[in-house]
Structure 1
Amino acid sequence: MTENDREVLRVAGLSGDTARWSRTFDYLIIVVAAFLVLAVTYINFLLLAGDWDFFTDFKDRQYWVVIYPIVQIMMAAAFQAVFWTLFRLPFGATASAFLFGLGVWLVRYHSWMGMAHFPLTLVVPGTFMVGAMILDGILTVSRAWLVTGLFGGTLFGITFYASNWIVFAPYFQPVENMGQLSSLADVIGYVFPRAGTPEYIRIIERGTLRTFSDSSTWVSVFFSCFICIFMYMLWWLIGAFACKAASVPTGDRFKLLFGMKPAEATK
């Protein structure tokens, strides 16, 4: 402990043990906050885009490109608003993307590959890390959420497919399977069938225009960019509104309900 630290503790009226416990409590808050960001982002993903990203052959080049960025920019914008409004820290979107990636990889590796015995090539998740870093970078430079929503939301939708292409491009290649033209991802899916394939996912791979990527993919990308702008602005406002939450005053009736003494009795 430096002399400056001792002087700060003396002015604050804290002992060394108290300061250490306070620092430990700060670390616990960081861990709990990180788990909260991970859980909220992952639950939002499971509710709105889970089916489209679970398996490689479910990643349709028309709908996956649209649904995934639109869903993931929600929590990225909300947590970016919280971090920026309360702490002026421009890494809320990157933190949510990193923690989400950590959580989803643990689930895919431990549950889907380790317990369900699916190959990792069948359950590789997508990522929005690049788009989240762009959002934080634009917010840092512009310091304006409207500018970030306009340009960052656009780049968020564009960079999603490009940043994931290096991983999923081999699985989009056309191959011949029992005399039928299909993608490599579909062949993996044929070998490892699943019991609960939703009907709206099962039928989307018909037609080579969508299956092997073409103009429809880029139409989907730019449509995703357009929607991401509005989704970012909406969820930024939601996150900023959450930062204004205040404590509710407790009256005597509330205190009696929980076994606490009323204010008059404590005097």
Structure 2
Amino acid sequence: HYPLNFVTPGTMLPGALLFYPGNWAIFGPTHLPIVVEGTLLSMADYMGHLYVRTGTPEYVRHIEQGSLRTFGGHTTVIAAFFASFVSMLMFAVWWYLGKVYCTAFFYVKGKRGRVVQRNDVTAFGE
């Protein structure tokens, strides 16, 4: 098997280059021009799809119109703390699953009979 740093560029770079063309079959029809009541629109505009970049005032206005407006203007702080909490929770969950499913164990036949030996080596080498 090859090391991960040799394999990753060979899979990630073509995947990144093919990401936009691969999605074009899905999102391409939304760029088609149509005329609605004398106004030239795209299908995405007519269907109501919005492409709002995060970090712009328009995005903050969309959030404050939703349920986060009850926090009184602290939407960024609340969203940051929630994102950090979810990140820590997912780290703990996947660490536990990795420990459960990636612990090597095997049976050792010795003087006391057959016993289970666990090689529980974590990322810290404990």
Q: Which has the larger radius of gyration?
A: 2
More helix per residue: 1 or 2?
1
More strand by share: 2
Higher RCO (C-alpha 8 Å, min separation 6): 1
